[in-house]
Homo-oligomer: A and B are copies of this chain.
Amino acid sequence: MAGMVFFSVSMSIDGFIAPESPEELMGQQWMELQHWVFPTRFMRESLKLGGGGEEGLDNEIARTTFERTGASVMGKRMFDAGEHAWPDEAPFHTPVFVMTHERRDPWVRLGGTTFYFVDDGIRSALDRAREAAGDRDVRISGGGATIVEYLNAGLVDEFSIALSPVLFGSGIRLFENVDAGRIALQQVRSEASARATHLTYAVRQR
């Protein structure tokens, strides 16, 4: 069975997933946005911080999101922001297809992450990611504009939001320019930890 196409993000109560500029990525509100994931056992393992860390819903969500993902698709801006920030062992551990307008050879990182650069559109990037993912799912990693491109094209099956108790006031909105009239949603899961509410919606075309 072919996998699903999904995205999974942390969102503020007022709908933002990132600050306006990468320089603000260590600000107070950004930390609060991601606060549910930092203490988890999964995150400590991923960052090689040693043992320990919290079990429970937040940990389960972080782990299953990672484990279901067989390949990722990413916009160029997200790649550019991460290219110099990710460690040599980039946190994906799968093929990642980066949509770009330049030709570039695959970039192999430690730990199983290889970035492939795709210059012929979102469907092509997705086709390649599906093939690479096999039975597992394809994650549209971001950023917001890339997620909305896939949503508007009817190519997303479901998505998950970790809704964190923080207001951003400005930044990058998850659903900016979404074609709302064509997208119907069904709430398929909603569970809360002490730190966030984890929501999952199935996407249908109207």
Interface residues in chain A, defined as those with a beta carbon under 8 Å from any beta carbon in chain B: 13-15, 29, 161, 163, 165-170, 173-175, 178-181, 183-187, 190-192, 194-197, 199, 201
Is there contact, CB below 8 Å, between B15 and A201? no
Cβ A167 vs Cβ B163 within 8 A: no
Given contacts A13-B201, A197-B190, contact A169 B180 (CB under 8 A): yes
Residue of B nearest to A15 (CB): B15
Knowing A165-B187, A197-B187 touch, does A180 contact B29 (C-beta < 8 A)?
Answer: yes
User: Given A14-B175, A15-B15, are A167 and B180 also a contact pair (CB < 8 Å)?
Assistant: yes
A175 to chain B, nearest CB (A): 4
- Copies of the chain in the assembly: 2
Q: A14-B174, A197-B199 are in contact. Are A167 and B192 (CB under 8 A)?
A: no
Q: CB within 8 A of A165: which of B14, B178, B185, B197?
A: B185
With contacts A29-B180, A180-B29 known, is A201 near B165, CB below 8 A? yes
Interchain nearest-CB distance for A145 vs B (Å): 14
* Cβ-defined partner of A180 (8 Å) among B14, B186, B195: B14
Which residues of the partner chain B approach A169 to less than 8 Å between Cβ atoms? 175, 178-181
Q: Which residues of B contact A195 (CB under 8 A)?
A: 187
Using A165-B185, A185-B166, A199-B163 as known contacts, say yes or no to A14 and B178 having CB atoms under 8 A apart: yes
Give the chain B neighbours of A14 by CB distance below 8 A: 15, 173-175, 178, 180
B residues in contact with A165, CB < 8 Å:
185-187, 201
Residues of chain B contacted by A181 (CB below 8 angstroms): 29, 169
A70 to chain B, nearest CB (A): 26
